[in-house]
Amino acid sequence: MPLTTVVDYLNDRLHQLHPTARLREQAGFRYRQGRLSAGIAGFRLTPHQVPVVRTGDGAVAAYSAQLRVESSRGHPMKPEALYVHAWDAADVLFLDRFLRTFHALHHLSEDRDADAWLVLGVHLRHLSALSEQHGQVFQELLHRLGLEPNQVVLRLNGRALQQDPHVQAAARSFVRHGYRLLATRSALDDTDWTGLRELGVSWVATDVPPYIWRHDQEGVLDWSRQAQGHSIGLWVERIDTPEALERAQALGAELVEGELFHAVANLRVREAS
């Protein structure tokens, strides 16, 4: 099916699924001259993907969805600014699904390897706005794009996963539908590894800035060992330099994510000795 037809269908379907969302009247996907874009509440959205590479063999394992946002005057904005315009639960649900569907469309348009996962964030306000059946509606939208939940990694707030029963219930629902889970790091000294594993979390995400590596290297290494001891993989983000990659390897990272891999998508990263 031509991508223009898919875009038209998803614009209509998202409107049908959210009849009370005010934002739906100000949002839409566009596919023109081979380029995908979107607009919502006066903002212009451009999708971007960051490669995620396996340290074991250097192969690209996933693509992490990122968003570039501009105001109507072309000024760059933080993606979080979009949620200022989501005034109620209906708008939050629409906005979060709209953004995730946009990223899935972009993934499809890039003709990625079918084995490469798509990594998507789920906003905490979305989890709070939906009472049950998390992941079900998005699963239907994915099917329309020829994607399955097991091809998607959902990035969830690690602290909320450990503290909020509603977020925990959402995580269990996502896992039942087949999604993979990535938890953002909360803190080095209070991670409930057993709880995260029981929720179905496959990886924890962190970055390793130089100042942390210099001043608390042993603490970071111990945190990594605890994760691996609970069969939770380490996913290190913001790998933008060879030095950052070396720190991630020393930490025992299973997956590394960063702009560094755009230029060297086939880089073979050696396992730390």
Is there a domain that residue 245 lies in? yes
Instruction: Give the tokens for residue 240.
Output: 């933008």
pTM above 0.75, yes or no: yes
Is there a domain that residue 271 lies in? no
Residue 272, pLDDT > 70, answer no
pLDDT digits (tens, 9 = 90+) for 168-179: 999 999 999 999
pLDDT of residue 134: 86
DSSP string, the chain: --HHHHHHHHHHHHHHH-TT-GGGGGEEEEEETTEEEEEETTEEEEEEEEEEEETTT--EEEEEEEEEEE-TTS-EE-GGGGGGG--SHHHHHHHHHHHHHHHHHHHHHTT--TTSEEEEE--HHHHHH--S-TTHHHHHHHHHTT--GGGEEEEE-HHHHHH-HHHHHHHHHHHHHT-EEEEEP--TT---HHHHHHHTEEEEEE---HHHHHHSHHHHHHHHHHHHHTT-EEEE----SHHHHHHHHHHT-SEEESTHHHHTTT--PPPP-
- At 241, give phi and psi (nearest 5°): -140, 160
Helix 89-109 to helix 136-144 angle, to the nearest 10 degrees? 30
- What's the CATH number where 163 sits? 3.20.20.450
Q: How many domains does the chain have?
A: 1
Is there a domain that residue 20 lies in? no
Instruction: Give the tokens for residue 227.
Output: 């994760």
Residue 101, pLDDT > 90, answer yes
pLDDT digits (tens, 9 = 90+) for 112-142: 888 999 999 998 888 888 777 787 889 999 9
pLDDT of residue 271: 42
Is there a domain that residue 76 lies in? no
Parent domain of 167: 46-65+87-263
